[in-house]
Amino acid sequence: MLKKERFRRFIDYFTTHYAEVQTELNFSNPFELLVAVILSAQCTDKRINQITPALFARFPEAESLAAASVEEVFSYIRSVSYPNNKAKHLVGMARLLVEKFGGEVPATLAELQSLPGVGRKTAHVILSIVYNEPTMAVDTHVFRVSHRLGLAPLTATTPLAVEKALVAHIPKELVPKSHHWLILHGRYVCVARAPKCDICALKDFCKYYEKQTAPPRRVRQSV
């Protein structure tokens, strides 16, 4: 199957069945989303949603978080992965937001990446959700599903390479939604260790499924 056809079928399926899709992180403004995405690194959205209500109640904006101690922030996020580093990142991020951006979440990749705890993936999530920019944040789910479906070539061995492979074939207006499509598919169907191929609606053009169900090759015996 040609790559163009593979992308067409991927887009057709999700635009038909999941036209409206959004992040599973709970937030009410760009600052809260930025905090939640920083916390979500190597942690589930479910866990983040459990701890952010109290965190946001105590630190509702950049100014209050910037004035906090790392120790106090840690006490609110101790149950997430790498809480020590994340507490430092959150306080540092908030202080730079106040000092350099007037407490507002910036709208460019370079400015976002200048904040502690914000890498390319996190910055792209913010740009996509808050500013509706055609950016593709590549996390472990996007990376895995893209390769399994054949949307990204095997030679795309880095998140950046996968990002480029995806945005080259997805219409700009659908890139933000495609990010969520790939994440949710990887989170609930195309899981890492035991993908649920039996319930997957995409298996008829999935390279991984094709490989798993292909008959074993016969080895010719020499006489």
The predicted-structure confidence for 175-211, as pLDDT tens digits, reads as follows 999 999 999 999 999 999 999 999 999 999 999 999 8
Answer yes or no: is 43 a known binding residue: no
The predicted-structure confidence for 1-29, as pLDDT tens digits, reads as follows 788 999 999 999 999 999 888 899 999 99
Which is nearest to 161 in space by CA: 169, 152, 172? Answer: 152
Answer yes or no: is 206 a known binding residue: yes
> What are the structural domains of the chain?
3-21+137-212 (1.10.1670.10), 30-131 (1.10.340.30)
Spell out a b/e string for 193-207, using b for 16 or more CB atoms within 10 Å of the CB, else e. eebebeebebbebbe
Q: Select the more confidently predicted residue: 212 or 119.
A: 119
Q: Give the count of beta carbons closer than 10 Å to the beta carbon of residue 158.
A: 10
Active-site residue 211, yes or no? no
Predicted pLDDT at 19: 86
Q: Which of 86, 139, 177, 203 is catalytic?
A: 139
Question: For residue 144, is pLDDT > 70?
Answer: yes
Question: For residue 104, is pLDDT > 60?
Answer: yes
Q: What is the pTM of this model?
A: 0.89
Confidence of residue 171 (pLDDT cuts 50, 70, 90): very high
Active-site residue 139, yes or no? yes
Predicted pLDDT at 1: 75
Which stretch of DSSP H or E encloses residue 121? helix 120-131
Average pLDDT of the residues in 170-178: 94
